């Protein structure tokens, strides 16, 4: 009896240990697998689940208000290119309410030493009350900050403030060419042109497209979901309309509102800083614009030629060329039945290029080396460490299919330009697959 009991206890104990062991292994394996898939899936690592381990509030949102001010925080980055500073915060500041601020850090433990912030509003505010603003902070000694925030008084209680992460730490993936598309808003639903342009970027060697999304139309929504699942497009939520009054235009006197064009200048700068360490080039153009090499097969060979010739250049200016969509090429060979029901413009049908009016200002877009750029605007860089180079027209131009800019020009006065057709053999099946 005793013997028997002893034996069953022993067996029971063994089974119990085995059971515990199995459960622990399963949990361990499960957490490893889920962690791997979540970090692989989301391009911006989310710390939200871990916030409870911090003694301060952490925001993983794209836009975070600064307490006791009218300003907004967007992102923070390590940036030691300006002497005496370690961190650059990109924000949106109300120009008439800028007060002295103090940088506060979370560096592994709550750190109550603050440093004075240097506030640099961007000069291109187009008259709007709010403007893209950089804030530079020196780090205190012995602080390897993972999160920062701004205070109005150095003595404030940090537990009552919201910190944002320093984004460009521990990034591994490398990219050659990223396109930063500033903003998507309204019910923009130009699906065919969007798909054709994204597929053209791929053929030209772009590895990634970052898009700031306030809102978009239903068909485009489906297309973008697909591209972001595949990893080619990185969607950044941009709910700027929850914080500021917005209008579509870019001139305050005409359109009113708080901030130019849904914060286009903020997002362009954020995009450039977001991957500064891991990027060779950033293309700052709109989604309906294609930076097209005319003498090289793709952007990689274009830049492999230009870079050694211009080693100190950080800003390559590319001239914008309009292809009005009111003129169709006559053969109709790209009026394809499978695209008939897809909303949007078919860029292959528009081959007539306007000559810019050289007696007035004509805008450019840029290919930049982010490490040499400090602040950018839409058509040129505002502050940079390197030089500027205007790429000749026979080497590279922007193909921009849109409403005519010089509408009075007759068809005979436009230039026939079939450069896009050189890519049609690959482009058409790729677009078909995407749709």
Ligand X SMILES: *[C@@H]1O[C@H](CO)[C@@H](O)[C@H](O)[C@H]1NC(C)=O
Binding site for ligand X (CB under 6 A): 112, 155, 157, 159-160, 174-176, 207, 213, 215-216, 221, 224-225, 235, 237, 300, 328, 332, 335
Q: Token digits for 216? A: 């978009």
Closest approach of Cβ 126 to ligand X, in Å? 25
In the complex, least distance from residue 165 CB atom to ligand X, rounded to whole angstroms: 21
Assign 413 to helix, strand or coil.
Answer: helix
Beta strands per DSSP E along 294-384: 313-324, 352-353, 364-368, 373-376, 381-384
Whether 109 contacts 144, CB under 8 Å: no
Specify whether the CB–CB gap between 227 and 220 falls below 8 A. Answer: no
> In whole angstroms, how close is the CB of 65 to ligand X at the nearest point?
17
* Nearest distance, CB of residue 215 and ligand X, angstroms: 5
Distance CA 363, CA 356 (A): 10
Write the CB contacts of 171 (distance below 8 Å, at least 6 apart in sequence).
Answer: 275, 277, 278
Task: Give the span between the Cα atoms of 126 and 257, in whole angstroms.
Answer: 11
* Neighbour-count burial of 131, counting CB atoms closer than 10 A to its CB (0-12 exposed, 13-18 middle, 19+ buried): buried
| Nearer Cβ to ligand X (242/410) | 242
Q: Report CA dihedral (193, 196, 199, 201) to the nearest 10 degrees.
A: -60
Contact indicator for 181, 287 with CB cutoff of 8 Å: yes
- Interatomic CA distance for residues 412 and 416, integer angstroms: 9
Q: Residue 130 Cβ, how far from ligand X at the closest point, in Å? A: 21
Alpha carbons 138 and 334: distance in angstroms, whole number: 57
Q: For residues 332 and 407, which CB has a smaller minimum distance to ligand X in the complex?
A: 332
What is the nearest approach in angstroms of ligand X to the Cβ of residue 304? 6
Nearer to ligand X, 390 or 426 (CB): 426
Q: Whose Cβ is closer to ligand X: residue 56's or residue 78's? A: 56
Work out how close the CB of 14 gets to ligand X at its nearest, in angstroms, rounded to a whole number.
49
- Quote the least distance from Cβ 357 to ligand X, whole Å: 28
CB 10, min distance to ligand X, A: 52
Q: Which residues contact 288 (CB under 8 A, 6 or more apart)?
A: 190, 193, 197, 400, 401, 402
Distance, in Å, from the CA atom of 234 to the CA atom of 91, rounded to the nearest integer, reads 21
Q: Cβ closer to ligand X: 183 or 320?
A: 183
Distance CA 347, CA 350 (A): 6
Q: Between 46 and 81, whose beta carbon lies closer to ligand X?
A: 46
Output 130 or 238, the one with its CB closest to ligand X. 238
> Cα–Cα distance between 412 and 107 in angstroms, integer?
65
Q: Residue 178, SS3?
A: strand
Which one, 300 or 372, has the nearer CB to ligand X? 300
Residue number, 245 or 390, with CB nearest to ligand X: 245
């Amino acid at each position: 009896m005793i013997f028997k009991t002893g034996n069953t206890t022993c067996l029971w104990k063994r089974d119990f240990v085995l059971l515990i062991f199995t459960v622990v292994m399963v949990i361990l394996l499960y957490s490893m697998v889920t962690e791997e898939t979540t970090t692989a899936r989301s391009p911006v690592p989310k710390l939200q689940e871990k916030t409870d381990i911090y003694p301060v509030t952490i925001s993983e949102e794209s836009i975070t208000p600064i307490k006791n001010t009218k300003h907004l925080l967007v992102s923070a980055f390590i940036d030691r290119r300006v002497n005496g500073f370690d961190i650059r915060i990109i924000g949106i500041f109300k120009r008439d309410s800028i007060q002295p601020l103090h940088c506060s850090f979370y560096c592994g433990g709550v750190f109550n030493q603050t440093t004075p912030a240097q506030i640099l509003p961007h000069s291109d505010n187009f008259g709007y009350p709010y403007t893209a603003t950089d804030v530079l902070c020196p780090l205190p000694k012995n602080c390897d900050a993972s999160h920062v925030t701004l205070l109005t008084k150095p003595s404030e209680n940090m537990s009552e403030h919201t910190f944002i992460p320093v984004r460009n730490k521990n990034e591994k993936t490398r990219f050659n060419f990223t396109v930063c598309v500033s903003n998507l808003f309204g019910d923009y639903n130009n699906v065919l042109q969007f798909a054709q342009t994204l597929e053209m970027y791929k053929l030209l060697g772009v590895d990634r497209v970052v898009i700031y999304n306030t809102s978009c139309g239903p068909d485009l929504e489906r297309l973008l979901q697909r591209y972001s699942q595949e990893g080619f497009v990185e969607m950044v939520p941009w709910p700027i309309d929850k914080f500021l009054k917005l209008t579509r235009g870019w001139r305050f006197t005409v359109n009113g509102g708080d901030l130019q064009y849904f914060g286009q200048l903020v997002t362009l700068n954020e995009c450039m800083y977001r991957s500064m360490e891991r990027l060779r080039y950033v293309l700052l153009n709109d989604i309906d614009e294609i930076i097209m090499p005319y003498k090289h097969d793709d952007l990689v060979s274009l830049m492999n030629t230009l870079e050694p010739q211009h080693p100190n250049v950080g800003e390559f200016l590319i001239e914008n060329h309009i292809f009005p969509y009111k003129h169709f090429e006559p053969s109709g060979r790209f009026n394809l039945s499978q695209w008939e029901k897809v909303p949007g413009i078919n860029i292959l049908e528009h081959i007539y290029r306007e000559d810019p009016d050289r007696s007035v200002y004509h805008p450019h877009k840029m290919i930049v080396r982010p490490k040499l750029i400090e602040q950018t605007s839409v058509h040129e860089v505002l502050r940079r460490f390197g030089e500027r180079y205007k790429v000749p027209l026979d080497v590279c131009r922007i193909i921009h299919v849109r409403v005519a800019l010089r509408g009075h020009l007759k068809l005979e006065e436009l230039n026939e330009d079939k450069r896009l057709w050189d890519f049609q053999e690959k482009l058409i099946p790729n677009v078909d697959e995407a749709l």
